[in-house]
Amino acid sequence: MIALRLATWLLVLALSESAAAQTGGSPAYKEAQISSGGTISGTFTYKGPIPEPYVIWPTKDVDVFGKTIPDDRLLISKEGRIRNVVVSLDGIKEGKKWPKTSPSLVNQGGRFIPHVQMVRTGAQLEIVNRDPLLHNTHGFQGGRTVFNIGLPTQDQKVKRFLKQAGIIEVMCDVHDWMNGWIVVQ
């Protein structure tokens, strides 16, 4: 449990550091034609013995979620690769066009899917409830509520624009173990 807490705080710290300079508004990024661009790729690996996957024991709605739910806060493959990592490059003022995406945040099985995602400032996020019960999806950015949406029915969908760069922590006010992260760049 200590390793999970440490990994969660390290992820939060890394996310906080990467967006710290951008919490005051939209980043000044200009889409431009790039003739001599490059690609950066890499892998985050876990050092040491790989822990067993963590699980959550839901405290309510067990008839819907089951007795345990996979915990997505620290996902490590058998090879030691860590999932749900966001990396950003500071100081990039212009570059290639962001791909057209339709980001979504799905309440399903007592989890947020995806657990971590990166979206462009101004993107329209679709928030969906796939479970046959009430979820209240609540996003916070720097202690301020960005969205607070009750989703009482299965397959209900609501859209919200993400207008400010930074990190949004997402929680469900009904199911306190549910959490996720949206990095808005």
Q: Which residue has the tokens 């339709």?
A: 102
Whether the per-residue pLDDT at 9 is higher than 60: the answer is no
- In 10 A of CB 59, how many CB atoms? 9
pTM above 0.85, yes or no: no
Q: What average pLDDT does the segment 76-91 reach? A: 90
Q: Over the stretch 106-142, which tens digit does the pLDDT of each residue have?
A: 999 999 999 999 999 999 999 999 999 999 999 999 9
Least confident of 99-103, 121-125, 168-172: 99-103
Q: Cis (ω within 30 of 0) for the bond into 99?
A: no
Alpha-carbon radius of gyration of the chain: 18
Q: How far is CA 43 from CA 152, 174, 181, in A?
A: 39, 35, 20
Residue 100's pLDDT is 83
pLDDT tens profile 13-42: 444 444 443 344 445 678 888 888 888 889
The rounded distance, in Å, linking the Cα atoms of 13 and 19 is 10
What single-letter amino acid sits at 104? S
Range with lowest mean pLDDT among 7-11, 108-112, 172-176, 179-183: 7-11
pLDDT for res 21: 38
Map out the domains of the chain as residue ranges. Answer: 2-184
Domain 2-184 belongs to what architecture?
Answer: Sandwich (2.60)
